[in-house]
Structure 1
Amino acid sequence: MSHPEVKSKWFADFKKQLPRVDGKVFAITGTTSGTGYVAARTAAENGGIVLLLNRRSERADKSLASLKEAVPSATFEQIDCDLQDMDSVRKAAEAVISKHPEVYCLANNAGISAHEDKATKDGYDVQMQTNHLSHFLLTSLLLPSLEKGADRHGEARIILGGERGNLGGNGDGFFGSPNFERYDQTKLANAVFTQALHQKLQAKESKVKVLSCHPGASSTPIIDGIPLKKDLWLLSLFNYALQSAEDGSMGLLTGMMGEGVKSGELCGPNSWVHCLNGPAVSVPARAVEKDPAMMELLWEKSEEACGAFVV
């Protein structure tokens, strides 16, 4: 399916509640469209300095121009960051640190879904590297800058892309297919990484918060090509629940800018139908996300791929 135009229901009122973030540095991956674009625009409108971490492309150039037109007084900086190339991620981190040694928020927003089983140049599944491994690497490299940001502002934030649906995949979900099973596994990795990093930072009494945020069923490019099973009632339900990119960004923006959020929480819609739409709320982590053995395994395998992550 391709994403249709959907009107926003809650975003206008939600946006009024967000605080000013003047002078705070936000590094956001995946801002060329969808929730990442809305988050970048909104952070800038509220006074933030916004670093746009995207793969070099015409889309990235066009979105940068669009953001500058939308918020002429804001500071936007484009930083080349290809999440399917770990060398590119390392260079992006170096660029961020050289210009902004104090970062308030790293929003690991970028993601892909339902892609074929193929390897990146680094040798990892394209979805797992894009959605988890490269964000694990980027977070490890920028953590010292986030600690400095926390010293300056009283706190800093790390955001991971979460999920309230079929974590890990089991073959019988709405989108059952091998390609989407791998996507579900990346979302489980994000969720477990959130809890593992949260616990490690809490143990050292860090002022850096770690949150997971999910968009529900948002009409953005990530849903293009999702292989919905040929059940008309499921397709109708999904289309009925679909919300706008603005509404879908509320969980992400709550994690990035919202007041009173707690480290380790998931921010996003919590509606009756698989949490597909609705206002963003804070939801406690589920048991599977906090399993000690899973956290240890994820950390070990992620370090094997990306190098040591010193907290």
Structure 2
Amino acid sequence: MTEKVSKHFPKFLEDLPNVEGKVFVITGTTSGTGFIAARTVAEKGGEVVCLNRKSQRVNDATEKFKAAVPSGKFVNIECDLQDFASVQKACDEIKQKYKSIYCLACNAGIMMTPDEATKDGCDTQMQTNHLSHFILTQQLFPLLEVAADSGGDARVVYHSSAARDMTKNGLEKKYFEKNGGNLGGDGNSMLMGGGRIVRYAQTKLANSVMMYAMHEKLQAKQSKVRVIACHPGGSATNLGEHMKLPWFENFLMTKIMIPFFIQSAEDGTMGLLTGMLVEDAKSGVLYGPANSGMAGLAVPNPPKKYETDPDAMKMLWETSEETTGVKFAI
């Protein structure tokens, strides 16, 4: 991915508060927005629990963290989001190590992967981007409540994207069930459509709908835990480097979009860090470039009707419980 100069991030970073003594759990920290978020939290004094599947990339990222923030507190816990048992094991380890956590940042995601099933039978994109994060949220919620009760607030942040607006009929239940490998095939055109982009769009809409659904439940309980969502705009990360787009779309992306419209990975992380760190970030709000735009400051994005549809929120919550086997009662 072409290196981009950060336009807004230096000033944004300067204004972020000190978070010394707070614990942040972040998924997907080996590169991109997750790496930048973890590094930033450490720079601001927080302790970072990095959840990643085992790989050389974890070792490489750890060395980069140490070089960037020599005094930083980083804890690596193995967590494969395509394996529910691995996610549960990671949760158990976190609960053994910590009595409370300030923030769970559900950042990790994959994009436009083949129509394949995980070992649990789910679509690889949906399990990685939503279902495993559902388990993490349910399992770690008691630790967030402890932090909120003692410190005044705690946070869950879901990382959506502009792709949430690409769905034609809102959320569809079949994508959340154990139908992996049988969900539309491997068509990969972002302009003409195809199974890969349709499945990805469902996962990113799930991220925002999950936030709105959880916010309603937290408000009804008068909980001090905040739930926030974000989107990165067009961000120069390696999320889509594996994609084999049609030649004209590849030309459009590499020769026009990236050089002129895509913002830096740091600028793309401002929405995520707003939800995680900014003191006046509000629960029930999605932050990112305005109107799901490609670049710009992280500002509130108003919800679309299909994001706050009561039937969609109910279906998402109940089907996620059924598929993951966890009951998430707030």
Q: Would you say same fold, with TM above 0.5?
A: yes
Matched, 1:230 2:228: no
8 Å CA contact 1:264, 1:284 repeated in 2? no
Secondary structure of the equivalent of 2:66?
helix
Asked whether 1:207 is paired with 2:219, we answer no
Task: Measure how far apart 1:162 and its partner are.
Answer: 1.4
Equivalent residue of 2:2, what SS? coil
Q: Which residue of 2 is the match for residue 298 of structure 1?
A: 316
Does the C-alpha gap of structure 1 residues 228 and 153 become closer, same or farther in structure 2, counting only changes over 3 Å? farther
Aligned to 2:68: 70
For 1:10-89, list aligned pairs within 5 A: 10-89=8-87
Residue in 2 aligned with 1:255? 275
**Equivalent residue pairs, number:** 307
CA distance 1:229–1:207, shift in 2 (3 Å): farther
Which one of the candidate residues 164, 187, 199 is aligned to 2:204?
187
Task: Tell me the equivalent position of 1:148.
Answer: 146
Cα RMSD (Å) of the superposition?
Answer: 1.8
| Inter-partner Cα distance in structure 2 for 1:237 and 1:153 | 47
Tell me how far 1:5 sits from its aligned partner.
1.5
Q: Cα deviation per residue 1:93-123 (whole Å; 9 max; x = unaligned)?
A: 1111111111000000000001000000000
In the alignment, what sits opposite 2:327?
308
Instruction: Return the TM-score normalized by structure 1.
Output: 0.94
What whole-Å deviation, never above 9, does each CA across 1:129-170 have from its counterpart, x for those lacking one?
000000001100000000001112200000001123453534
Aligned-partner Cα distance in 2 for 1:18–1:266? 18
Report the secondary structure of 2:226's partner residue. strand
Change (3 A) 1:79 1:132: same
Provide Cα deviations, 1:249-308, integer angstroms capped at 9, x if missing partner. 11100000012111110111116xx51111111223222111000001111110001121
TM-score for both structures, normalised by structure 2: 0.89
Equivalences for 1:92-103 in 2 at 5 Å? Answer: 92-103=90-101
Aligned residue in 2 for 1:282: 300
User: Structure 1 residues 98, 183: CA separation in 2 closer, same or farther (over 3 Å shift)?
Assistant: same
Confirm whether residue 266 of structure 1 aligns to residue 286 of structure 2.
Answer: yes
Once residues 17 and 81 of structure 2 are traced to their aligned partners in structure 1, the CA distance between those partners, rounded to angstroms, is: 30
Residue deviations 1:161-181, cap 9 Å, x none?
112345353499547321111
**C-alpha distance 254-174 of structure 1, shift in aligned 2 (>3 A):** farther
Q: Is the 8 A contact 1:174 1:229 kept in 2?
A: no
Contact map agreement 2:6 2:264 (CA 8 A) in 1: yes
Aligned to 2:223, what secondary structure does the other structure show? coil
Q: Tell me, yes or no, if the aligned pair for 1:174 and 1:228 is still in contact at 8 Å.
A: no
Where 1:106 maps in the other structure, the secondary structure is strand
Q: Distance in 1 between matches of 2:248 and 2:164?
A: 18
Name the CA distance, whole Å, in 2 between partners of 1:255 and 1:105.
9
1:26 is paired with a residue whose SS is strand
Structure 1 residues 22, 118: CA separation in 2 closer, same or farther (over 3 Å shift)?
same
Change (3 A) 1:178 1:235: farther
1:214 and 1:162 map into 2 onto residues whose CA distance is 5
Q: Tell me, which stretches of 5 or more residues in structure 1 are unaligned?
A: none
In 1, Cα distance between equivalents of 2:192 and 2:43: 36
Alpha carbons of structure 1 residues 294 and 138: separation in structure 2 relative to 1, 3 Å? same
Q: Hey, what's the Cα distance between the residues in 2 that align with 1:17 and 1:287? A: 33
Which segments of structure 1 move beyond 6 Å, counting only runs of 4 or more?
A: none
In the alignment, the residues of structure 2 paired with residue 31 and residue 157 of structure 1 have an alpha-carbon distance, to the nearest angstrom, of: 18
Which amino acid counterpart does residue 318 of structure 2 have in structure 1? Answer: E
Structure 2 unaligned residues grouped into runs of 5+: 169-186
Structure-1 separation of matches of 2:238 and 2:221 = 39
